[in-house]
């Protein structure tokens, strides 16, 4: 027996998956979830083997939900229309069902999962998330886990980002949050006219800068509205000046 979780915000969309699942007695439905938050809880609780996941959902979308799960299970995406998501799925050979879909197509997706079950790597999911995070609309907010709570940070609320080992510290007015990503990732994803990597270990939100002071020889420091001081290297100073039009 394999455990399955369905995550979709539309009741009828879940019910069609449930209906199609009846033909697969080896798949046992552990829970249906209304949104990403319930999804995270259910995945932690049941450790399912397979999830059916919608992309467009309230508060946090399917991709953002996956980012918050440490070891995501195998996924079959279900979506109505999302050019970028579909491109990402195709690039990483992960199966997806385009709504509306019929029993045949559903069976094929399940068969594909059975076939690849043992070779399924988490790497593919990670790569998928990396690709998906580059799509437009994905760079407006960052979703982080703060203990057991989930926090959604709109990018304009970010003061600056700081490298911290395998994590990145996201500094905001409510303190900092940790996200399991690299500085290079954020440098790529965030709007380059608003977020400048002024230092190997720092990315600063230029809208928060009140002034840039010299600091020791060759270096500078950006003083933010909050009073925080963010180091700026020599190369970074050039980049900042270019963005600020100095």
Q: Tell me which residues touch another protein (CB under 8 A).
A: 9-13, 15-16, 19, 34-35, 37, 56, 58-60, 80-82, 98-102, 141, 152, 154
* Cβ contacts of 24 within 8 Å, gap of 6 or more: 107, 110
Q: Whole-number minimum distance, CB 189 to another protein, in Å?
A: 18
Q: Tell me how far, at minimum, the Cβ of 12 lies from another protein, in Å.
A: 4
Q: Which of 143, 155, 141, 159 is nearest to 205 (CA)?
A: 159
Question: Which is closer to another protein, CB of 69 or CB of 98?
Answer: 98
User: Is 164 in contact with 177 (CB distance < 8 Å)?
Assistant: no
CA distances from 154 to 9, 127, 158, 169, 218 (A): 22, 23, 7, 15, 33
Least CB distance from residue 22 to another protein, whole Å?
10
Q: How far is the CB of 20 from another protein (least distance, A)?
A: 10
CB-CB contact of 46 with 39 (8 Å): no
Place of tokens 């600063």: 204
Minimum distance, C-beta of residue 94 to another protein, in the bound complex (Å)? 20
Compare residues 81 and 215 and give the one whose CB is closer to another protein: 81
- What is the nearest approach in angstroms of another protein to the Cβ of residue 199? 29
Decide whether 58 or 235 has the Cβ nearer to another protein.
Answer: 58
C-alpha span between 121 and 131 (Å, rounded): 16
CB of 81 to another protein, least distance (A): 4
H/E stretch holding 135 reads none
Work out the widest C-alpha separation in the chain, in whole angstroms.
Answer: 71
Toward another protein, which CB reaches closer, 11 or 193? 11
If the CB atoms of residues 82 and 162 are measured against another protein, the closer one turns out to be 82
Residue from 39, 94, 33 nearest 68 by CA: 39
68 DSSP assignment:
T
Please answer whether residues 219 and 229 qualify as being in contact, where contact means their C-beta atoms are separated by less than 8 angstroms.
no
Q: Do 226 and 208 form a contact (C-beta atoms < 8 A)?
A: yes
**For another protein, the closer CB: 3 or 141:** 141
In the block, which residue shows the tokens 């690299």? 182
By beta-carbon proximity to another protein, the closer residue of 42 and 60 is 60
């Amino acid at each position: 027996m394999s455990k399955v979780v369905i995550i979709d915000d539309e009741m009828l969309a879940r019910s069609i998956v449930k209906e199609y699942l009846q033909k697969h007695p080896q798949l046992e439905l552990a829970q249906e979830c209304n949104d990403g938050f319930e999804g995270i809880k259910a995945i932690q609780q049941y450790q399912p083997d397979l999830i059916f996941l919608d992309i467009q959902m309230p508060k946090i979308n399917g991709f953002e939900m996956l980012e918050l799960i440490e070891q995501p299970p195998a996924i079959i995406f279900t979506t109505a229309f999302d050019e970028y998501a579909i491109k990402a799925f195709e690039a990483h050979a992960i199966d997806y069902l385009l709504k509306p879909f019929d029993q045949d197509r559903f069976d094929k997706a399940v068969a594909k999962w059975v076939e690849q079950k043992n070779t399924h790597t988490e790497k593919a999911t990670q790569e998928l998330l990396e690709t998906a995070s580059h799509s437009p609309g994905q760079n407006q907010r960052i979703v982080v886990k703060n203990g057991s709570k989930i926090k959604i940070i709109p990018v304009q609320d970010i003061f600056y980002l700081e490298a911290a080992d395998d994590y990145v510290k996201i500094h905001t007015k409510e303190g900092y949050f940790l996200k399991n990503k690299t500085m290079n990732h954020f440098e790529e994803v965030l709007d380059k006219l608003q977020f400048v990597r002024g230092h190997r270990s720092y990315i600063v939100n230029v809208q928060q800068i009140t002034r840039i002071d010299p600091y020791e020889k060759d270096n500078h420091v950006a003083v933010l509205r909050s009073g925080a001081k963010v180091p700026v290297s020599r190369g970074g100073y050039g980049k900042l000046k270019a963005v600020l039009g100095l």
